[in-house]
A and B are shown apart, each in its own frame.
Chain A
């Protein structure tokens, strides 16, 4: 089991560019989510999905798009990068139990710098 994998590990973008952060898991987890981590602010939820074809917004969704066409993959798209999106991005996945939140497994993160 590779667990949760994220690519790339590091990316530099110019303002206005677009890109996709990749996330994949091989644990057959229904629930997947994207967080951003900023100093002194902990992790904040961007978008999440409870299964293929189902996504919803989290706490800070503006400027990001997601889709979930398969159980394994949950890419995060930056439509037009802004310096405020400079952050470390984490993808996470877990089982969906419908009553009790299960442990979320995190990927190693993608460091994004927007100039």
Chain B
């Protein structure tokens, strides 16, 4: 079975500092990986996704993530944090074992990481 582990339920950085949110996955097949962001009292919004093309994926709002198969990781980074980045971030996996005519698109989410940005 596939799974996702996000290391650190809370991460706090200063404005302007590097943001690093960690995600490790477990999958017996090549995975598709996603990062979603949830602002307070809102639904989830896609930041970026990896679908076996380039291993370094650029997303919205200056975020990027690098797929490292040897480390089974898909960490999310941003060079300089803004106050507006404060939110909860979710890593999710959807592997090819799920991709059939009846069940494509099923996502397995990590537990989430709350990012706090201090002025």
Contacts and interface: CB of A to CB of B under 8 A. Distances in A.
Interface of A: 4, 31, 33, 35, 40-45, 48, 50, 54, 56, 58, 90, 92, 94, 96-104, 106-109
Contacts of B77: none
A98 B112 CA distance: 28
B49 interface: yes
Contacts of A58: 106
B78 to A, nearest CB: 20
B43 A48 contact: no
Given A42-B90, A43-B109, A108-B43, A101 B32 contact: yes
B107 interface: yes
A106 B88 CA distance: 15
Contact of A102 (B98, B105, B111): B105
A13 B63 CA distance: 40
Nearest to A54: B102
B43 A50 contact: no
Contact of A103 (B42, B46, B90, B102): B46
B99 to A, nearest CB: 6
Nearest to A31: B105
Contacts of A43: 44, 90, 92, 107, 109
B12 interface: no
